Amino acid sequence: MEFLFPLSLLLILIVLVNVFLRKEKPQPTIGNHPSDEQIQILPPGSTGLPLIGETLDYFFKLKNGVLEKFVAERMKNYSAEVFRTSLIGQPTAILCGPEGNKFLFSNEKKLVQVWIPSYLDKIFPKVDNADSGVASSNTEQTKLIRKQLPAVLKLENLVSYIGTMDAVMKHQLRTEWNREKINVVPAVSKFTLTLAFRFFLGIEDPEKVEEISKYAKEIDPGIMSIPIDFPGTNFHRAIKASKMMREKIQLIVRQTKIDLQEKRASISKTLLMHMLSTADENGQFFSESYIASHVFALVEGGYGTVTSTLTFVMKYLSEFPHVYDETVGGGDVDRQLVAIGVVGVRGRRFIMETVVGVCNSWPAVMGHGIGGSLWRWQYLWLSKYCGICGGYGGKLMVFVEK
């Protein structure tokens, strides 16, 4: 009983804050040429509970792999074309159908631009290149870092990576996967992070990889969680893990820089080596914190998507034997050859078809943002395929008010 009074005060505070926010925030205008004179229209729907909206239901269905039910229920109750809700503290409208995609692709960089939720800045903070003394926006930094990637990911480098990938995979098959039952997600995560640290940072020491990997595994749950920075929450743990991981990577950057200056290391094809030896547009070399921040973002950004895709590929291979047989060469390849990595041309082609099918059914990235300054809306594109939107070719669009 002693908890009822403070709990009541907390609920009253939440309601008052929610009423204040709703009163102060201007309503969005929807139309081909929005203006202050137009009638303000909101799509049908519900914003759920104060502050948290319908986030809990959204994440519950996402965690259980039935996100389509979240949308299907509201399409049935409100509208099959557009409805409103509230996710992660943001007023949200969801469009189902090809019209939303047509709008996105015909107006990219005109009415819409790439956007991510602002709360992610705590996990992926913007770091300026202090050595150049020039501050830049996230968009400018993204353009700058993208210029560094072609030199690392050009065709001849990718070809040279294949041998390393094959060697790492065979080693882990012998040491990690040589048992009757395995937990796929941790095993695939270790494989993915081992390759990421080797290609981006040149790290081959398994102990060092394991030391940094433990922080990476704390971040993904925080990204897909309610953004409450309070001890014990996934979001709080993700912020702490992000800070620790960036510090560890910065130490590696500093040591590699010293080794290069003292000629104890040679220039390799890793992203770290390229960034250490390349100047920006102002003729200044990248700072240690700048390099660490962006290498961290690349590792974390690629880790979750690759792990998710490989996990679902293995799920389908184990559940559908005929898919496995086609993958290893249409069933015509001797199992002993498969065991040592020999797969026919037909099998390699079918592997690509399997991966594409998995990506369409279970997109590795559940969303990225598109911010629209004209309509005061921010758009979140959830997936390339969603069965609740008319089967194959159906689209799911989310619009988040600024």
* Residue 92 in domain: yes
Query: Rounded to whole angstroms, how far apart are CA atoms 45 and 18?
Result: 17
Return the SS3 of 43.
coil
Q: Do 91 and 179 have their domain in common?
A: no
**End-of-domain residue from the set 293, 310, 327:** 310
Which ranges in 25-154 belong to alpha helices (H)? Answer: 55-63, 67-77, 98-107, 138-146, 149-153
Give the structural domain span for 46.
26-111+373-401
Query: Rounded to whole angstroms, how far apart are CA atoms 79 and 75?
Result: 5
Q: Do 240 and 100 have their domain in common?
A: no
Return the SS3 of 179.
coil
pLDDT recorded at residue 87: 80
Q: Do 97 and 150 have their domain in common?
A: no
Q: Do 100 and 155 have their domain in common?
A: no
Query: Rounded to whole angstroms, how far apart are CA atoms 392 and 259?
Result: 53
pLDDT recorded at residue 242: 92
Q: In what order do the strands lie in the sheet with 368-372?
A: 82-87, 90-96, 396-401, 377-383, 368-372, 113-115
Q: Do 80 and 191 have their domain in common?
A: no
pLDDT recorded at residue 1: 45
* Residue 39 in domain: yes
Query: Rounded to whole angstroms, how far apart are CA atoms 345 and 236?
Result: 47
pLDDT recorded at residue 392: 32
What lies within 8 Å, CB to CB, of 73 at 6+ separation is: none
Query: Rounded to whole angstroms, how far apart are CA atoms 138 and 150?
Result: 20
* Residue 163 in domain: yes
Token look-up 């974390």 returns: 300
Q: Give me the phi and psi of 92, to 5 degrees please.
A: -135, 140
Return the SS3 of 306.
helix
Q: Do 157 and 92 have their domain in common?
A: no
Q: Do 144 and 104 have their domain in common?
A: no
* Residue 208 in domain: yes
Instruction: Please give the structure tokens belonging to residue 8.
Output: 């009541």
Burial of 189 (0-12, 13-18, 19+ CB in 10 A): buried
**End-of-domain residue from the set 295, 310, 325:** 310
Q: Do 226 and 87 have their domain in common?
A: no
What is the 8-class DSSP label of residue 3? T
**End-of-domain residue from the set 287, 310, 333:** 310
pLDDT recorded at residue 101: 66
Query: Rounded to whole angstroms, how far apart are CA atoms 401 and 117?
Result: 11
Query: Rounded to whole angstroms, how far apart are CA atoms 112 and 101?
Result: 12
Q: What is the dihedral of CA 323, 324, 325, 329, to 10 degrees?
A: 100
Q: Do 209 and 142 have their domain in common?
A: yes
The answer to whether 198 touches 204, Cβ cutoff 8 Å, is yes
Provide the β-strand partners of residue 93. Answer: 84, 399
The answer to whether 397 touches 382, Cβ cutoff 8 Å, is yes
* Residue 350 in domain: no
Q: How many domains does the chain have?
A: 2
The answer to whether 127 touches 290, Cβ cutoff 8 Å, is yes
Angle at 153 between CA 291 and CA 278, to 5 degrees: 40
* Residue 288 in domain: yes
Count H helices and E strands in the chain, helices first.
15, 6
Q: Do 185 and 99 have their domain in common?
A: no
Q: Give me the phi and psi of 267, to 5 degrees please.
A: -65, 125
Q: Do 267 and 199 have their domain in common?
A: yes
Per-residue pLDDT of the chain (402 residues; tens, 9 = 90+): 444 444 454 455 554 445 444 444 444 433 344 444 443 567 788 888 887 888 888 888 877 777 778 888 988 899 887 788 888 777 777 777 777 667 666 777 776 666 667 788 888 887 765 544 444 555 565 666 677 777 677 777 777 788 888 888 888 888 888 888 888 888 888 888 888 888 888 888 888 888 888 888 888 888 877 788 888 899 999 999 999 999 999 999 998 888 877 777 666 677 888 788 777 677 777 888 888 888 888 888 777 788 888 888 888 888 888 877 777 655 444 444 444 454 555 556 777 777 777 776 666 665 444 444 444 445 454 433 333 333 333 334 455 444
pLDDT recorded at residue 237: 94
CATH code of 229's domain = 1.10.630.10
* Residue 292 in domain: yes
